[in-house]
Amino acid sequence: MFDHDRDRHEDDRVISEELKVRAQALRAAGKTPKQIARELGVTRAVVTPLVRGVAVERPNRVRPSDLPLVGCWISRQWSNGLTITDRPADWVDDRKLRRMAVGAGLVSVVVARADGDSASVCGFLVDTYCLGVKNAVPPAASTFDDLPYFLEDFFAAYDSAMIEAPIELARHLVFGAVDYARELGFDPHRDFYSAAPHLGTWEPPSRITFGLDGKPYFQQGPYDNPDRIMRTLDKSVGPGNYHFTAVTLGG
């Protein structure tokens, strides 16, 4: 009984913190408390204390998406297990997709834009099979000379070089995965809201059908709470309607 109570309180803390982060990000983007409440599905009374004191972005400030695009890069095998409708010719990937190869279901995306004499760089780690954006790197300044080193570090976990990709693909991949994960009951990592403006305006739906062959597949990572995630999937799609690979830790 006590374990269930602890899990419930943990879930409540996570939900409360995610709500606060999302509310503050929307406020910083210029949304009114009323608009934020509508978007988050809560009352204005809930939103107001969460956003009190948050600076609002001024309308005349240059939007990140208006900055010149330096480049966009995506890890290989990004399309593994996914279905793409009317696939554009420049949405390229490895010619041979090896099922569950490195990069399948867990995709890295980097976007760099020119901001004066430096580059503004951000990144996303996207679980295309279940959880959406699991991690993100907020925009940070980098010299153009240092950008290759940033890319090398960001994609170091993969066994092949990243692919230069159109920004439209990044939008459909990142925003589409977030929309899919939210349908399953999962919100993106808090830093997603800081990095997302670099992608530009999102106009759903995505051309991409997410999930492994269209079905949620949870692959446990080192920082995931498998019990909480599978409880959420049980509620959203029902037991037996998703796949999972969980790690058993030894005593």
Q: Is the residue at 96 inside a domain?
A: yes
90-144 pLDDT tens trace: 999 998 888 778 888 999 999 999 999 999 999 999 999 999 999 999 999 999 9
Residue 28 in any domain: the answer is yes
Comparing C-alpha atoms, which of 60, 96, 48 is closest to residue 76?
96
> What is the per-residue pLDDT for 102?
82
Give CA–CA dist 73/78, Å, rounded.
11
Greatest alpha-carbon span in the chain? 58
Predicted local confidence at residue 19, as pLDDT: 81
**175-192 confidence digits (pLDDT tens):** 999 999 999 999 999 999
**Which structural domain range is residue 202 located in?**
62-231
The residue that leads in pLDDT, 132 or 33, is 132
For the segment 219-224, the average pLDDT, to the nearest whole number, is 90
Q: Are residues 121 and 30 in the same domain?
A: no
The reply to whether 83 and 142 lie within a common domain is yes
In a domain, 118, yes or no: yes
- pLDDT grade, residue 20 (50/70/90)? confident
Would you say residue 200 lies in a domain?
A: yes
Residue 32 lies in a domain: yes
Sequence-distant (6+) residues with CB within 8 A of 240 are none
- How many domains, the chain? 2
Q: Is residue 237 part of a domain?
A: no
Tokens at residue 88, please? Answer: 């554009």
Domain boundary among 45, 60, 75: 60
Measured CA to CA, the distance from residue 187 to residue 49 in angstroms comes to 21
- Could you tell me the end-to-end alpha-carbon distance of the chain, in angstroms, rounded to an integer? 22
* H or E stretch at 157: none
Residues 207 and 218 in one domain: yes
pLDDT digits (tens, 9 = 90+) for 142-163: 999 999 999 999 999 999 999 9
Examine the domain organization and report whether 14 and 112 are in the same domain.
no
Q: Look at residues 105, 96, 82 and name the one whose alpha carbon lies nearest to residue 217.
A: 105
In the predicted structure, residue 56 carries a pLDDT above the cut 80: no
Task: Give percent of the chain with pLDDT exceeding 90.
Answer: 64
